[in-house]
Structure 1
C-alpha cells in the first residue's frame, strides 16, 4: 500500500487501506457490486452506441504464476520448454458495451469451450448476454448444443472451417446453394429420447449444481 498511502488524508492512511482491502475486496462484495457497475456503464450515453449489451466476447490471458499455486499448471506450448514454469489463464468476459462482466481462473493454459460456458454461468450480473463470441475455443457440435440449450448462441471465430459440418433435420429438405455442404442429417428420434436428460444437464448448469 506504500505507493498510494498518504498520511493526513483519512481515506488514504495505511490502516484504512489495509482495512478496506481485507473487509471489502472479497468475492462476495465484488459479486454484489458487479451489477451496479454494469448498470452504471449501461447508463453512459456512448455505451448504447457501442452495442446493445446482448453480445459478450470471452478470451483468455495467459500468464506465468511466480509462486506455488493450485490454480497453475505447466504448459511449454506458450512459454517455452527450457523451464517447466507454472502458468494460469484468466478467462475474461467483456460485453459489447466495453464492460467487464466477470471472469474465471483456468488451471494451466487450456483452451476449452466448456470453460467459456462455465464463466458465463458465474457472471454476477442481472442480465446475461445472449450471444457469446470467442476464438476457436476447442468447439464441437456437442458444445454448440450445450450453449443453445442453456439459452446462449455460441459464435466462435472458427480458424479452419473446411472440416465443419452443416446439419439438416430432413434428408429431403432443399437448402438451395447449401445442399452440397449440408450432408449430415440430425436424428430427431435420438433428440426426443434423450431430451429429459439434456434438460437435467442444462438445469444443473444454470442453477450452479454442477460446473460446466
Structure 2
C-alpha cells in the first residue's frame, strides 16, 4: 500500500524488490544501452555503499517499515565510472549506515534519482510519470514552477498522492545545484529522448510538454 505517495515496504517486499530491480530490470536496461552502442554497468545502491540510508520517517506518523531515506551518495564511485565512459544504471535499493549497515532499504526511485543528480550537480534530472506533468485543479498543465510555488501547491492540495514525492525531490535536486528538474509523461513515445536532445544546455526543458521545476 501507499502512504503519502510512498510505498510501505516490509522486509519481504524489499527482498522481492531487490531481486527484481537489481537483477532482471537493472541488467536489461544496461544491456539495452550497450546494444544501442553505448557503455553501461548495472549497479545496486548497496554496491560500494552507493546509497547509504536511514529509515524514512513519514511526517504523518505512518510506519513505512523498510523505506530508506538517502543520507549519503557515493559520488566517487559514480564519477569514476562516468570518467571511464560508462553509464551507471542504479537500482534504488540502499544499505543502512553504521550498526544498521546490513539492513536493506527500498528507496523511492524518484528520491534516488533526485539525490544522485543533486550530489553530482547535474545539469538536469528527468522524472517520468503517467500524466502530462504537474496539473492544476482544473487539470491543466503547469509548464514551469519554482520551489516556492511547489510548496504552495502541496499545501493547498493541488499536488497530491504520488506526485508529492516527485515534486519534493525535484525541488531538493535543484536546491542541491541541478539547474532544472523536468517531470514529463513517460507514455509519450520517445519522451526521454525528446527531452535529452531537445532541452539544449539550459536544463530548462525542451518545450515539448511536461513541467520544469527550478529555483
TM-score tier after normalising by the smaller chain length:
under 0.3
Greater CA radius of gyration, 1 or 2?
A: 1
TM superposition score normalised by structure 2:
0.23
TM superposition score normalised by structure 1:
0.23
Larger relative contact order (Cα-Cα within 8 Å, sequence gap ≥ 6): 2
